[in-house]
């Protein structure tokens, strides 16, 4: 009743999942930073996730971890699981899972992946996801996971329909206050959950990403920023005013003493547009 991708790229680990099932990400996905990631689905055994990660942390390969957890489970034929560790990966579909069901696992120069699904419209869901993952090496990790999920959704996804989606990903030092969480986003009940997840990923990057294209605050740009901040009620020294406004807008992760992040500038301009205009007059960074 679910399709998912479990993957790592270097020290980044993550799971993205979609399903015609309420809040599927919660019982399906689990990541242990520096160790691995797991998706447990079909007639899911939630204990698979902790047990598999424990086995990886003990030094077992993904195949060995899978053999251990399924060997201890009398209902293993009803389970589906994907496991990715630092150097190994595996996907498993029990013989009693509801068709179409299956998966694929592999490793490229960046890391490993395991893609799996059950009650799907067909094998094309998994093959489309694998192709998108392998072609997406240029993307940031979370975007790559969700683009892969989108490919599965566009190929048909869960044959019962759509309800929920989610992504959980980690990387050392990433996220708010360097907590290590790249993304922890869930769409629990929505008519287009994967598309909504895609929108949330963009917001997550805006608020919790680091500055990318930094523009020096000087000349006409300095005066433009000053005038816009004053319109919003933040007068005085531009750096101080920008900091106060940015903190109020939850953009402090993108503030920098070297100037203004292009995406922060975009938000500032959008907030100070005349009502009859739209953000389309400004470029998207």
Q: Whole-angstrom Cα distance, residue 89 to residue 158?
A: 23
Q: Whole-angstrom Cα distance, residue 34 to residue 86?
A: 8
- pTM of the predicted model, to two decimals? 0.91
Helices (H), 136-218: 141-154, 193-208
Q: For 30-39, what is each residue's pLDDT tens digit?
A: 999 999 999 9
> For residue 178, what pLDDT band results from cuts at 50, 70 and 90?
confident
Pairs from 267-276 (Cβ < 8 Å, separation ≥ 24): 267/206, 268/225, 268/228, 268/229, 269/228, 271/228, 271/232, 272/228, 272/231, 272/232
Sign of the torsion formed by the C-alpha atoms of 53, 56, 62 and 66: negative
Q: Whole-angstrom Cα distance, residue 236 to residue 228?
A: 12
Q: Which residues have C-beta within 8 Å of that of residue 180, sequence separation ≥ 6?
A: 33, 170, 171, 172, 173, 174
Q: Does domain 2-208 have CATH number 3.60.20.10?
A: yes
Q: Does pLDDT of 281 surpass 60?
A: no
Q: For 196-218, what is each residue's pLDDT tens digit?
A: 999 999 999 999 999 999 999 99
Nearest 5 degrees, angle CA 187-CA 192-CA 195?
A: 75
Q: Whole-angstrom Cα distance, residue 1 to residue 143?
A: 23
Average pLDDT of every residue of the chain: 95
For the chain, domain boundaries? 2-208, 214-281
- 250, 259 contact by CB (below 8 A): no
> For residue 282, what pLDDT band results from cuts at 50, 70 and 90?
very low
> For residue 175, what pLDDT band results from cuts at 50, 70 and 90?
confident
């Amino acid at each position: 009743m679910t399709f998912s991708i479990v993957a790592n790229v270097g020290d980044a680990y993550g799971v993205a999942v979609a399903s015609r099932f309420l809040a599927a990400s919660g019982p399906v996905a689990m990541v242990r930073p520096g160790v691995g990631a797991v998706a447990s689905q079909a007639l899911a055994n939630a204990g698979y996730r902790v047990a598999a990660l424990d086995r990886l942390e003990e030094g077992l390969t993904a195949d060995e971890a899978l053999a251990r957890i399924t060997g201890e489970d009398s209902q293993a034929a009803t389970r589906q699981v994907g496991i990715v560790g630092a150097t190994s990966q595996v996907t498993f579909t029990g013989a009693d899972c509801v068709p179409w069901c299956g998966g694929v696992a592999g490793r490229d120069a960046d890391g490993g992946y395991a893609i799996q699904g059950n009650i799907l419209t067909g094998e094309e869901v998994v093959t489309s996801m694998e192709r998108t993952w392998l072609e997406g090496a240029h993307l940031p990790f979370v975007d790559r996971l969700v683009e892969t999920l989108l490919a599965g959704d566009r190929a048909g996804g869960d044959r019962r329909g759509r309800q929920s989606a989610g992504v959980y990903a980690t990387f050392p030092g990433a996220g708010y206050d360097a907590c290590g969480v790249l993304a922890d986003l869930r769409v629990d009940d929505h008519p287009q959950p994967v598309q909504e997840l895609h929108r949330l990923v963009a917001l997550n990057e805006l608020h919790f990403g680091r500055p990318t294209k930094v523009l020096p605050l000087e000349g006409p740009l300095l005066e433009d920023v000053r005038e816009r901040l004053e319109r919003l009620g933040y007068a005085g020294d531009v750096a101080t005013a920008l900091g106060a406004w940015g903190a109020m807008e939850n953009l402090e992760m993108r503030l920098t003493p070297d100037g203004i992040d292009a995406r922060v500038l975009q938000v500032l301009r959008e907030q100070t547009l005349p009502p009859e205009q739209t953000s389309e007059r400004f470029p998207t960074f």
